[in-house]
Structure 1
Amino acid sequence: MTLIAIVSALHEELSAIDALLEGRSLQQRGGRSFHRGRLQGHEVLLVLSGIGKVAAASTATLALDAFGAQALLFTGVAGGLTPGVRVGDVVVARELLQHDLDVSPLFPRYVVPSAGRARFAADAVLADALAAAADEVLAQPHPALQRLGIGTVRSHQGLVVSGDRFVSTAVESDALRTALPDALAVEMEGAAVAQVCAAFGRPFAVLRTVSDRADDSAHVDFQRFIAEVAAEYSRDIVAAALRSL
């Protein structure tokens, strides 16, 4: 049976999914705790990566190599870049790119030298499942949205960019929009996971809930948003996607 790794950078999101796990076992490897069990009829491996590209890449490598995961889903939060991508929205990545990678003039900006490309495509089947699940979940009212002052939410699909810095000013987000006008959201892990999965030839997909606008605008209470919205979206969307696979 296919083993699917489910990875997140933040404890709150992974713990919400972990609560659904059946028949669990635990193994420690590389300073990380890998929880194995069954979820929605699938054999899954849950693991917290921590924040940043190195943490995500090393975790993905362990999941694929040491544990033999045949596919990987990464779930977490991101900052919205495109004007229509608002707090509370969900983004399913179709492509991922490292916005802070630049080895020019040896290679064009953003290109990963070992891969010869800048953009890594998510697996269509997995991304389709997440997109359909996101639409299903977002169609249901969520009381926490009103409590946090968030209005109507929607899902998006497209380019997500990653880098080892937290983008939180208008100057930074404007620069990203100028350089990468089709980028929907920015985060700190997805493109690193994409590169690792491509090297192993394993399918992957990335799901992100938009927690902020990656600029100087007012933010919702981040910890409340993670606990009351993002973690529940991760749990419900991943579960619905697994049911459909």
Structure 2
Amino acid sequence: TSFKEVEDRHITFFKGDISGKEVALMKCGIGKVNAAVRLSELINIFAPDMVVNTGVAGGIDTEVNVGDVVVGSQCCYHDVWCGEGAWGQMQGLPLYFDGSRKILDIVEGLSLDNLHTGLICTGDQFITESIGLQAIKRNFPKALAVDMESAAMAHICYQRNIPFASIRVISDTPDKETDNQTQYFDFWETAPKRTFDVLKKVLEKL
């Protein structure tokens, strides 16, 4: 597959095809603002039919382990409080941003081990200790994973009426009796291939 490099406003995009589907790729950077700004630029330039975000996340449920893949059936903020409504909800917006039903149906039909669908929580924090994880689980007991970008991108797609999905490989598990910093750095050899394999299978079936 060949890709064409496109530079715009200090952001590098790559345009090409994967599994016969025309795609535009970018690195969104770390955190909610980077993700929102860069995705907005991508949408303005390429007008995609749907947006799929891939990356890593911390596992915050006993059923997920390092190397597992979580696809967000919903995404939400875990660090937002506006004084009214539910914790994590911005006024005028839903608490939960739904993932693309079409992509979720495809994912749930794949014969892949250690693949989960569920809630991904987003905040501008790298969760390294169980105390932070417990606070998130208290507000969102069904959450499977925590990251720093998914809900921000889901938020943008909700406002633009664009289907969105987040595919995250679990990099560490802060609440388990392991050194999660070591987990995070040790798994990188397999993480990119794991998420790309899922993404490729999804694109093949779209």
Per the normalisation by structure 2, the TM-score is 0.93
- Counterpart check, 1:236 vs 2:201: no
Aligned to 2:97: 120
Aligned to 1:84: 63
- Counterpart check, 1:110 vs 2:70: no
Q: Which runs of 5+ in 2 are unaligned?
A: none
Cα deviations by residue, 1:127-168 (Å, 9 ceiling, x for unpaired): 2223444x43x3xxxxxxxxxxxxxxx121111100001011
Distance 1:162 1:111, change over 3 A: same
Structure 1 runs (4+) greater than 4 angstroms displaced: none
Where in structure 2 are the equivalents of 1:62-73 lying within 5 Å? Answer: 62-73=41-52
8 A Cα contact 1:32 1:49, kept in partner: no
Aligned to 1:173: 133
User: In 2, distance between residues paired with 1:23 and 1:185?
Assistant: 33
* Partner SS state of residue 198, structure 1: helix
User: In 2, distance between residues paired with 1:30 and 1:114?
Assistant: 30
**Taking every aligned residue pair, what percent have the same amino acid on both sides?**
30
User: In 1, distance between residues paired with 2:134 and 2:87?
Assistant: 18
* Partner SS state of residue 27, structure 1: strand
* Partner SS state of residue 152, structure 2: helix
Aligned to 1:223: 185
Aligned to 1:198: 158
Give the letter aligned to residue 202 of structure 2. A
Give the letter aligned to residue 30 of structure 1. R
Give the letter aligned to residue 56 of structure 2. V
Distance 1:59 1:161, change over 3 A: same
User: In 1, distance between residues paired with 2:190 and 2:2?
Assistant: 27
Distance 1:244 1:194, change over 3 A: same
8 A Cα contact 2:69 2:195, kept in partner: no
Give the letter aligned to residue 52 of structure 1. G
User: In 2, distance between residues paired with 1:157 and 1:177?
Assistant: 17
Aligned to 1:18: none
* Partner SS state of residue 66, structure 1: helix
8 A Cα contact 1:127 1:206, kept in partner: no
How many positions carry a matched residue from both structures? 204
User: In 2, distance between residues paired with 1:96 and 1:43?
Assistant: 26
Per the normalisation by structure 1, the TM-score is 0.78
Aligned to 1:186: 146
- Counterpart check, 1:59 vs 2:38: yes
Q: Which runs of 5+ in 1 are unaligned?
A: 1-21, 139-153
Aligned to 2:12: 33
Give the CA deviation at 1:223.
3.3
